[in-house]
A and B are shown apart, each in its own frame.
Chain A
């Protein structure tokens, strides 16, 4: 029985690397996802993930499957779309969700076009869905660095991040930290998506952010606990997904995200904070 869990990682180096990769992605992505969710920006993460594609594609067009080229391209495209969408919503009548939708659709179409200009369908699949079972040292290092920076930055920005969600008017009345905090946070989102996309692809990377975060909301009312839970759920999903893919010969990336999805559905049903079961059978009312 133990063999089922242990042997794949003990015997195959690519499985070890994949595990290290998903743990690093979960460490950074979970907490970022919690803040995205609490700031009501869950779909922003999704839009940003699409926005990264043309940048990564240009990197790919210039240098082939090169880690630095695709990383820099992705970061650049993500930041450009985030800033452009922010500017449009600030200075025109269009709200941020609509302007983001416009920009990411544009990006996605552009990205797919660029990739198919030169590459094969295999390359396109690689960019869209990642290669978690083929992570090399440099990619692992990149993902781990991004997680480290993310955790440190979130610790430093914790107060203004929270305050900007709860009571932005108050934050504006006591400090000018609001706008820079928001910009840095968007930067963190883009970074984590770029890190995640090497392993899971641009489309699924956001899954390791939002699914563990959304699942954690059903278990706690405390942001700190939610962030820790989201990391644990992310790591567990990574582990389950990799094993599932190993034993059942499923594609690894989707298996990981499906595991995270299962964790979300379980939490939705059983979660102590507003889960379906507790809503359906709340028990007799209390005295006070």
Chain B
């Protein structure tokens, strides 16, 4: 049997801002090929965790190790895109080819076929020339998923990909997530819909500023764990002491 390799490893990681932890002492690993949900209340540190994995946020302590030179495709919360910028849907999606084409590389006929396939896969054929400012929230999310498809990365991080998205679009995009899982890609998604997590995601990490439970979804999403996560206060202590907690 082929040994299961690790896609992402956390060594006692603490992530945060201005010395204050948002994710406290996370230790463990995400095996490659996992389909994992990250759940927790607002302010639990879910987005912070993804930023740490992508590398836009350096851990306050500990290390996040990625398997070799694996590429990461990252979909942040939709709000961070300038929708007023005069850009066509086609160009937005084509940016997914960055890792291949870089600053100067051309887009070959093969690439054009792939862009078309990606647009077809998310149901946006015929939208190529539309400016992104005319897209609805759901259509924008479809376009961003098409870009993720083109990035063709072994690790895919999704930050609340289905927030404010209708049922049909969610179902379509969730199919893509399953397809990535079938292709043995590692998918980590921040989600709020626990029913969806139970139905689709075999693994779950429940956090509330520190890991509450991590493992098989059914075990993690027990009522006592959820209650515990809800009780963890979003405390901001202006006189917090330096943390001396050691690895167990």
* Distance in angstroms between the alpha carbons of A174 and B54 in the assembled complex: 10
CB of A156 within 8 A of CB of B82, answer no
Residues of chain A lying within 8 A (CB to CB) of residue B81: 166-167
Whether B87 sits at the interface, judged by CB under 8 Å, is: yes
Chain A residue at smallest Cβ distance from B82: A166
CB of A38 within 8 A of CB of B98, answer no
Q: Which of A75-83, A215-223, A254-262 contacts B (4 or more CB under 8 A)?
A: A215-223
Interface digits, B69-94 against A, CB 8 Å rule (1 contact, 0 not)? 00011101000111001111001100
CB of B74 within 8 A of CB of A166, answer no
A136 to chain B, nearest CB (A): 37
Whether B131 sits at the interface, judged by CB under 8 Å, is: yes
Whether B236 sits at the interface, judged by CB under 8 Å, is: no
Assuming the contacts A166-B81, A169-B76, asked whether A177 and B103 have C-beta atoms less than 8 A apart, the reply is yes
* Distance in angstroms between the alpha carbons of A255 and B74 in the assembled complex: 51
Most buried by B among A160, A165, A169, A222: A169
CB of A174 within 8 A of CB of B98, answer yes
* Distance in angstroms between the alpha carbons of A221 and B91 in the assembled complex: 13
Assuming the contacts A156-B103, A163-B95, A167-B81, asked whether A173 and B74 have C-beta atoms less than 8 A apart, the reply is yes
List residues 158-208 of chain A with CB under 8 A from any CB of chain B. 159-160, 162-163, 165-170, 172-175, 177
Whether B219 sits at the interface, judged by CB under 8 Å, is: no
CB of A170 within 8 A of CB of B95, answer yes
B80 to chain A, nearest CB (A): 5
List residues 11-68 of chain B with CB under 8 A from any CB of chain A. 54-56
Whether A231 sits at the interface, judged by CB under 8 Å, is: no
A236 to chain B, nearest CB (A): 22
CB of A167 within 8 A of CB of B82, answer yes
Chain B residue at smallest Cβ distance from A166: B85
Instruction: Give the interface residue-count category, chain A.
Output: 20 to 34
Interface digits, B121-132 against A, CB 8 Å rule (1 contact, 0 not)? 000000000011
Taking a contact as CB atoms closer than 8 A, the residue among A38, A157, A170, A172 that contacts B85 in the complex is: A38
Chain A residue at smallest Cβ distance from B86: A221
Assuming the contacts A170-B95, A172-B56, A221-B131, asked whether A165 and B85 have C-beta atoms less than 8 A apart, the reply is yes
* Distance in angstroms between the alpha carbons of A177 and B98 in the assembled complex: 11
CB of A175 within 8 A of CB of B86, answer no
Interface digits, A128-168 against B, CB 8 Å rule (1 contact, 0 not)? 00000000000000000000000000001101101101111
CB of B82 within 8 A of CB of A173, answer no
Assuming the contacts A221-B86, A221-B131, A223-B87, asked whether A169 and B80 have C-beta atoms less than 8 A apart, the reply is yes
* Distance in angstroms between the alpha carbons of A54 and B160 in the assembled complex: 50
Chain A residue at smallest Cβ distance from B94: A159
Residues of chain B lying within 8 A (CB to CB) of residue A156: 103-104
Residues of chain A lying within 8 A (CB to CB) of residue B74: 169-170, 173
Whether A226 sits at the interface, judged by CB under 8 Å, is: yes
Residues of chain B lying within 8 A (CB to CB) of residue A168: 80
Assuming the contacts A166-B85, A166-B92, A222-B86, asked whether A174 and B99 have C-beta atoms less than 8 A apart, the reply is yes
CB of B95 within 8 A of CB of A173, answer no
* Distance in angstroms between the alpha carbons of A164 and B218 in the assembled complex: 41
Residues of chain B lying within 8 A (CB to CB) of residue A160: 103
Taking a contact as CB atoms closer than 8 A, the residue among A166, A169, A177, A220 that contacts B56 in the complex is: A169
Give the B-binding residues of A (Cβ under 8 A): 38, 156-157, 159-160, 162-163, 165-170, 172-175, 177, 220-223, 226
Question: What are 29 A-B contacts with C-beta separation under 8 Å?
Answer: A38-B85, A38-B86, A159-B95, A162-B87, A163-B95, A163-B98, A165-B82, A166-B87, A166-B132, A167-B80, A167-B81, A167-B82, A167-B92, A167-B95, A168-B80, A170-B74, A170-B76, A170-B95, A172-B54, A172-B56, A173-B55, A173-B56, A173-B73, A174-B98, A174-B151, A177-B103, A222-B88, A223-B86, A226-B86
